Amino acid sequence: MPFRSGFVSIVGRPNAGKSTLLNALIGEKIAIVTRKPQTTRNRIRGVLEVPANKGKHPAAQIVFVDTPGVHKPSNLLDKRMLQEVYEALDTRDIVLHVVDASRSLRLPEESASFLPSLVADEVADETEAAPQREKRPPSLHLNNEDAFVLDLIRKLDCPVFLLLNKIDAIAKDQLLPLMAQLSMEHNYAAILPISARKKDGLDTLVAKLVAHLPEGQRYYPKEQFTDQPERFLVAELIREKILQFTGEEVPYASAVVIERFEEPAAPAPKRPNAKIAQKLPLTRIAAAIHCERDGQKAILIGKGGAMLKQIGAASRMEIEKLLGTRVYLELFIKVAEDWRSSRSFLDSLDWQKQLEDLGNRQKE
Ligand SMILES: Nc1nc2c(ncn2[C@@H]2O[C@H](COP(=O)(O)OP(=O)(O)OP(=O)(O)O)[C@@H](O)[C@H]2O)c(=O)[nH]1
Ligand SMILES: [Mg+2]
């Protein structure tokens, strides 16, 4: 049977477990996961090689695309996050709509968008290439993120799978009514209960995805499992610790920029989870944590520097696992007032855009 390949975009409201699912499918930590909503800020690709299953399906390469959770934007960063979702929905073969089955859904009686058309237009204005969106009347259901996701997927002409996630956290008799309720909302190509955390139901999911994928060649080399540069992964691991250890507004007002990344001269094992021995070479990394106000800076530093030390120690351990070297990590805090509304600052965080710009400059 001919090889199959394609892009599978993962969408849903914040905290549905999209990034946990991506990591579980790929078997590597390529997206950060926390209990706080709005953890993911960028599209993140994870590449899965699927061997042929005799008589059932051919071999395939699936490129999964994790996206930020859909939420009502209140600044330019939020709008960029929503733009990432739009872009992932524009370039895909299949979409996975992930719903947290452990929280009750409040679906409105009729289809609704929580975003007035105005917001969609503003988002589109941000990038020239953004597709024209049809105008929608402002909706009454301004806070219903699930309804907005439904609104987006109803416009798609590709198969959409509904994934009821976190089934490890609910009683079995709750599942059927939820499936029945949601199956009326959209003509899903498949409805699958899963637990991303326990890796439950994922084999069935992958087999069904391969069955729906078109014939095609690999998009990525066989051994590559993500498109993210190492520097970005490192910045994300630091941000994960900020999200874990700080509260209130601080996690949302923080951005991490790697300012120095000195790889060791000697070659080091590149695979994540490699054993860390004392003899291993040393990577020197300096990272700036940007926040928006002096008060947030004080929280990030903590009493006698305790918070910064905790963030540094926890992220260093994870970075060592990722790089397979020892790591000397230097962290410092900078205040960049209102960076979440600064176009140029957000551009400087966007590694995909930076790579594209570099490519365009080289072509000229
Ligand atoms: N019990 C249970 N918890 C899960 C499962 N999947 C994810 N979680 C938890 O749900 C929380 C959110 O998970 P994420 O993977 O970060 O969710 P997300 O959809 O990527 O969230 P955003 O990036 O904010 O949009 C974390 O605390 C996860 O551990 C699951 O199958 N079962
Ligand atoms: Mg996420």
Both ends of the chain: CA-CA distance in Å? Answer: 42
Question: What pLDDT does 361 receive?
Answer: 72
- CA dist 243 and 250 (Å) reads 8
- CA dist 339 and 102 (Å) reads 35
Task: Summarize pLDDT for 110-120 with one digit per residue, the tens.
Answer: 434 444 333 34
Q: For 72, which DSSP code? A: -
| Contact residues for 112 (Cβ-Cβ < 8 A; gap 6+) | 139, 140, 141, 144, 147, 148, 151
Query: Higher confidence at residue 265 or residue 40?
Result: 40
SS3 state at 277: coil
Last residue of a domain, one of 212, 241, 265: 212
pLDDT at position 109 over 50? no
Domain that holds residue 147: 4-212
Task: Summarize pLDDT for 171-195 with one digit per residue, the tens.
Answer: 888 888 888 888 888 999 999 999 9
Instruction: Mark whether 187 and 242 lie in a shared domain.
Output: no
- Counting ligands in written order, which one lies closest to the CA of residue 34? 1
Q: Is residue 65 part of a domain?
A: yes
Question: What pLDDT does 213 receive?
Answer: 97
Mean pLDDT of 288-314: 97
Question: Which residue matches tokens 């700036």?
Answer: 288
Q: For 302, which DSSP code? A: -
Question: What pLDDT does 72 receive?
Answer: 87
Residues with CB under 6 A from ligand 1: 12, 14-20, 33-35, 37-40, 68-69, 165-166, 168-169, 195-197
Which CATH number covers residue 283?
3.30.300.20
Choose the weakest-confidence range: 6-10, 146-150, 339-343. 146-150
Instruction: Mark whether 189 and 290 lie in a shared domain.
Output: no
Task: Summarize pLDDT for 312-352 with one digit per residue, the tens.
Answer: 999 999 999 999 999 999 999 999 999 999 999 999 898 88
Task: Summarize pLDDT for 207-257 with one digit per residue, the tens.
Answer: 999 999 999 999 999 999 999 999 999 999 999 999 999 999 999 999 999
The total number of structural domains in the chain stands at 2
Element (H, E) at 26: helix 18-26
Instruction: Mark whether 238 and 206 lie in a shared domain.
Output: no
Instruction: Mark whether 120 and 81 lie in a shared domain.
Output: yes
- CA dist 198 and 281 (Å) reads 35
Mean pLDDT of 37-52: 96
The rounded mean pLDDT for the chain is 87
Residues with CB under 5 A from ligand 2 (ion): 18-19, 39-40
User: Do the strands 60-66 and 4-12 form a parallel or antiparallel pair, or are they unpaired?
Assistant: parallel
Quick one: which atom of ligand 1 is closest to the CA of 69?
Answer: 25
Does residue 19 contact residue 98 with C-beta atoms inside 8 Å? no
Question: Which residue matches tokens 């490699």?
Answer: 274
pLDDT at position 99 over 50? yes
Q: Which two tokens stand for residue 92?
A: 């895909």
Instruction: Mark whether 278 and 187 lie in a shared domain.
Output: no
Task: Summarize pLDDT for 257-292 with one digit per residue, the tens.
Answer: 999 999 887 665 566 665 555 578 999 999 999 999
Task: Residue 201: count other Cβ atoms within 10 Å of its Cβ.
Answer: 17
